Structure 1
Amino acid sequence: MQKNIADILPVAGVVPVLVIEHPEDALPLAAALLEGGLSVLEITLRTEAALDAVERIAKHLPEVQIGTGTILNGDDLRRSTEAGASFVVSPGATERLLAAADDYDVPLLPGAASVSEVMRLFERGYRYQKFFPAQAAGGTPMLKSIAGPLAEVRFCPTGGISPDNAASYLTLGNVICVGGSWMASSALVREKNWAEITRLSRQAVALKP
Structure 2
Amino acid sequence: MADTTSVLDVSPVIPVVTIEDPQHAVPVARALADGGVRIIELTLRTDTALTSLKAIANEVPDILVGAGTILTPGQADAAVAAGAQFLVSPGVTPSLLDHMLSLEVPVLPGVATVGEVMAVLERGLDTMKFFPAGPAGGPSYLAAIGAPVPQVTFCPTGGISLATAPDYLKLPNVRCVGGSWLTPRAAVESGDWQQITELAREAAALA
TM-score under structure 1 normalisation?
A: 0.97
Is residue 7–residue 106 contact of structure 2 (8 Å, CA) maintained in 1? no
Mapped contact 1:45–1:68 kept (Cα < 8 A)? yes
Q: What corresponds to 1:14 in structure 2?
A: 13
* Aligned counterparts, 1:32-181, within 5 A: 32-181=31-180
DSSP-derived class of the 1:179 partner = strand
Residues 64-123 of structure 1: per-residue CA shift (max 9 Å, x gap)? 110000001100110001000000100001011012123211221000001111111111
Give the letter aligned to residue 170 of structure 1. Answer: L
Counterpart-to-counterpart distance in 1, 2:176 and 2:101 = 24
Does the 8 Å contact 2:139/2:167 carry over to 1? yes
Structure 2: stretches of 5+ with no match in the other structure: none
| In 2: Cα distance, 1:91 partner to 1:53 partner | 20
**Greater displacement, 98-107 / 147-156:** 98-107
Matched residue of 2:133: which SS?
coil
- Gaps spanning 5+ residues in structure 1: where? none
Large movers: runs of 4+ above 6 Å: none
Q: What CA RMSD, in Å, does the superposition of the two structures yield over aligned residues? A: 0.9
Letter aligned with residue 81 of structure 1 = V
- More displaced, 96-105 or 71-80? 96-105
**1:60 deviation in Å?**
1.2
Cα separation, 1, equivalents of 2:56 and 2:67 = 12
Counterpart of 1:43 in 2: which secondary structure? Answer: strand
> What per-residue deviation string (whole Å, max 9, x for no partner) do you get for residues 123-149 of structure 1?
111111000000111000000001111
How many corresponding residue pairs?
207
2:27 maps to 28
- Distance across 2 between alignment mates of 1:107 and 1:173: 21
Tell me the distance in 1 between the aligned counterparts of 2:101 and 2:27.
Answer: 34
> Which whole-Å CA distance do the structure 2 matches of 1:46 and 1:186 have between them?
14
Q: Which residue number corresponds to residue 185 of structure 2?
A: 186
TM-score, structure 2 as length reference: 0.98
CA contact (8 A) 1:37 1:201 kept: yes
Give the Å deviation of 1:7. Answer: 1.5
Maintained 8 Å contact 1:154/1:176? yes
CA contact (8 A) 2:65 2:84 kept: yes
Q: Secondary structure at the match of 2:134?
A: coil
SS of alignment partner, residue 183 of structure 1: coil
Classify the secondary structure of the residue corresponding to 1:184.
Answer: coil
